[in-house]
Chain A
Amino acid sequence: MKALRLTLAAVMGGAAMLVAPVMAPMMAPAMAQAPAASGATLDAIRARGTLICGVNTGLAGFAQPDSQGVWRGFDVDYCRAVAVALWNDPNKVRYVPTTAQNRFTALQSGEVDMLARNTTWTLSRDTSLGFDFTGINFYDGQGFMVKTSAGVRTARDLNGATICVQPGTTTEQNLTDWARANRIRFTPVVIERLEEVVGAYVSGRCDAYTTDVSGLASTRSAQPRPADHMILPDVISKEPLGPAVRHGDQRFADLLRWIHFGLVGAEELGITAANVQQAAQTDARPDVQRMLGRSGELGQMLGVDNLWMVNIIRTLGNYGEMFERNLGPIGLQRGPNALWTNGGLQYAPPLR
C-alpha cells in the first residue's frame, strides 16, 4: 500500500497545514505552528525535550536502524550532534523515516524539526519550498551503476539503454538534462521504492541504475556479490547534500550551521574524540580554546552550553571520524569531502 501511504502522507501534510494553528495546543507540540519569531522552533524543541529529525527510510551509511533498532549513520549523527549541543544527550532524538517524496511535506508541515536526509541543496528548494539549507556536509554527484558483464565503460556507452531511476528527486531531472546535452536516448523505468528499483536493476529489467554516487556505493555494498556491479567513472551532476530547516528558523539554522563548521574545524585542528578532553584542559592554541569553550562564549552566542563542541566531539568525533565510521564501511572515499587543506572542499569559517 505504498502508493496509498505516500498519497496519504502528502494529504496529511496538507491537512496539517490546514489545521496547524488551531490544533497545535491540542496535538503534540511537534505540530509547530507557523514560526512567528526566529527562535520558535528552537524554543519548541527545548520545551519538548526531544529533537524530531527527518531521516532516510534506510540507506546504509547515512541512516539505517541497526539490529537493535538503533538508528546509525552519517545523517543520523548530525541529528545526534544537535541533541548533544542542546542537552548533552545523543539519545534525545526521535527519528522519522521519510521517503524522497514525503520529506518536504514533513518539514513544511512541522512534522519534523529538521531534515538530515541526503537532500540536495537547490535554488528552488531554498526559495519556493520554503527551506533553509544550513551547509553542505556531503559533496555528492550523480553516477551510474551497471553490471560488470555488460561491457559498458563510460556513461556515453549507455545510448539506447534502459535506465532505472527513482522519481521525485533531482536525480530524474539530472538524467534527462544529461541525456539531452549528450544526445543520448534512453528508456526510463521509474519506480518509487528503493528495494523495487534496485530489484528491477538487478533482475536485468534495466541496463543501468542511476542515483547519487554515495547511494550507488551503499547499494553496491549490499549486493551479495558487489564485484558483479561497477560504478561508472562519470559524475553527471553536483549534489551538495546537507541538513535543512524551515524558512524563518534562523536561530535553529545557526546552530546547525555552526555544529557542522565546528566538526570540520575540529578535524582541521586535529581534535578527536580521543583527545578532546585532554585538549580542552591543556591545548594552548587560541582557536582550540575558543572552540572548546575555555575562552570566549561561542556556545552562549548560539544559545547552548559553552562546552557544546567538547560534548559533541567526545560523543561523536570530528567530521573525519564521523565520515570514516559511517561511510568508510560502504566503500566511500573522502574525495571532494576531504578538508580543503588536503585538496578537498570541506572548509569551515572561523569559530570566533
Chain B
Amino acid sequence: MSSSTADPRLAKAGPPRRPIRLSWSDERLRGIVWQVLVVGVVAAILYWLWSNTVHNLEVRRIATGFGFLGREAGLPIGESLISYEPTDTYRRALTVGVLNTLKVAIVGVVLATILGTLVGIARLSKNWLLSKVAGLYVEIIRDLPLLLQLLFWYTILQSLPGPRQALNPVDGVFLSNRGLLLPFIEWMPAHWWALLALVAGFVGTLLFAKAMRARQYADGQPRKVWPAGITLMVGLPLLVWTTLGAPFTPDIPALRGFNFQGGITMTPEYFALLLGLVTYTAGFIAEIVRAGIQAVSLGQWEAAQALGMRRGDILKRIVLPQALRVIIPPMTSQYLNLTKNSSLAVAIGYQDIVSIANTTLNQTGQAIEGIAIIMLVYLTISLSISFFMNWYNSRIALVER
C-alpha cells in the first residue's frame, strides 16, 4: 500500500550518514548515552531486586528453586481431565490445574460468544418484549460483581436435593447437589480413532469447500458442499468405528453407597463457575455485538437487497464482515477477561491452577515460585488468545486499496 506511494529511489538510501562526534552537542551520541543509561539503571534495579531476594531467602533459610515439582503432592483433587492420584508429583497436580483452567476457559469462551451474540441480536429485535428482556439481562448481569454471581449460582446448585432424592427426569440422567450425571459409553481405543476420523473429515470438508469455491469463481456456478460434508464428517467416523468392531457398552450412572458411580459427572463447582462466567461475559459480549451490527449502516442492507441478494447472504457477505471489524478487538478483551476471571474458582471450590498452585505454595512455602507459575500460566494462555485473535482480526480487517 504505502510502498506504491513512496519514491522508489528513496527506498534503500536512508538519511546521509555522518560519523559520530564525541561531543554532547551530537544528537546521536546523546541518544546513545541516554539509552545506555536507562537500560543500565533498569538492569541494575532488576539485579538488585533479584540478589536481595536471594539473600533474604537464604538468611531466613527458606528453600528456593523448582525442585519441589518432582516431589509427591499429596493433595486431593476433585475433578481432573487426566488420571491423577494424590501420590503423583506437584508437576502432575499443577498440570491438572492448568487443564481445569483451560476446560472452563475454552468452553466458557465458546458458550459466552454464542449466548452473547444471541442476546445482542435480541436486543436489536423489533419484538418489544424480546428486546426489553435482553436489555434487562444485560443491565442486571453487568452491574453485579462476578464473585457475588458465582456464589449465587453455587448456593443455588447446593440447594438441589441430595443424591438419594436426586431428580431423575430421564432414565440414566440424575441431577442432585453432587452434580449432573449423564450416561456415557465405556471409552475404548476405537473411539479415539473415530474421533480422529471426525477431525480429518472436518478438515477434508473445509478443503473441499475451498476447492468448490475456486470453481465457482471460475464458472459462476454455486455448488453444494453439504452432501460431501456429511459423508466426510459422519460417514468416515462411522466407517472407522465399524471396522474396529463397533464397540458400544453404555455406562449408566447408579447410586452406590454415598455417591453415584459411572457415567460422566458435571460437578456443581464446575457448573456454577461455567454458568457464572458465561452469563457474566455474555452480558458484555451482547453489547459489543450490538455495537458491531449497528455500526454497519442501513444503506448496506438496502444496497445488497437492491442487488437481489438473499437475507442470509447479505448477513454473511455484506454485514458480518463489516461488523466483525468492530466486534473482534473488544471481543479479545472479553475472552481474556473470562479466562482471568476463572481464577475466582477458588471461592467456590473448583480446583483450577490458582487453587492448586496456592495449595502448593502453602505446602512447600515457596511463594515466589508458586506465584511465578500462576503468572506464567495466565500469561501463556492470554498471549495465545491475543495472538489468535490478532491473527483473525488481521484476516477479516478491511483491506484498503
Contact = CB atoms under 8 A, between A and B. Distances in A.
A172 B74 contact: yes
Chain B at the A interface: mostly helix, strand, loop or mixed? Answer: helix
Contacts of B365: 104, 108, 124-125, 128-130
B247 interface: no
B266 to A, nearest CB: 14
Given A21-B56, A192-B355, A187 B371 contact: no
B359 A161 contact: no
B258 A6 contact: no
A182 interface: no
Given A130-B61, A161-B259, A189-B269, A203 B371 contact: no
A108 B53 CA distance: 12
Given A108-B60, A127-B61, A180-B87, A7 B368 contact: no
Contacts of B60: 34, 108, 130, 246-248
22 contacts: A2-B347, A3-B344, A21-B52, A34-B56, A34-B60, A105-B367, A128-B365, A129-B63, A129-B365, A172-B74, A172-B359, A176-B75, A176-B86, A180-B87, A187-B78, A190-B351, A190-B355, A191-B349, A196-B347, A203-B158, A205-B158, A205-B268
Contact of B354 (A3, A105, A162, A207): A3
A17 B53 contact: yes
B289 interface: no
Interface in A8-39: 10-11, 13-14, 17-22, 34-35
B376 to A, nearest CB: 14
B141 to A, nearest CB: 18
B362 interface: yes
A147 to B, nearest CB: 10
Interface string A94-106: 0000001100110
Interface string B344-368: 1111110100110011011111011
Interface of A: 1-4, 6-7, 10-11, 13-14, 17-22, 34-35, 100-101, 104-105, 108, 124-125, 127-130, 158-162, 165, 167-169, 172-173, 175-177, 179-180, 186-193, 196-197, 199-200, 203-205, 207, 246-248
Given A2-B346, A20-B56, A7 B354 contact: yes
Contact of B59 (A4, A186, A190, A248): A248
Contacts of B371: 7, 10-11, 14
A49 to B, nearest CB: 25
A173 B177 contact: no
A17 B158 contact: no
A168 B367 contact: no
B162 interface: yes
Given A3-B354, A160-B257, A246-B60, A167 B359 contact: yes
Interface residues of B, number: 55
Given A19-B52, A204-B162, A160 B75 contact: no
B77 interface: yes
A105 B366 CA distance: 9
A191 B154 CA distance: 12
B131 interface: no
B355 A167 contact: yes
B89 to A, nearest CB: 14
Contacts of B155: 199, 203
A18 B367 contact: no
Interface centre among A165, A177, A192, A197 (most CB of B within 10 A): A192
A272 to B, nearest CB: 39
Contact of A189 (B56, B57, B349): B349
A116 B345 CA distance: 29
Contacts of A130: 60-62, 365
Given A108-B365, A192-B355, A160 B74 contact: no
Contacts of A19: 49, 52
Contacts of A100: 362
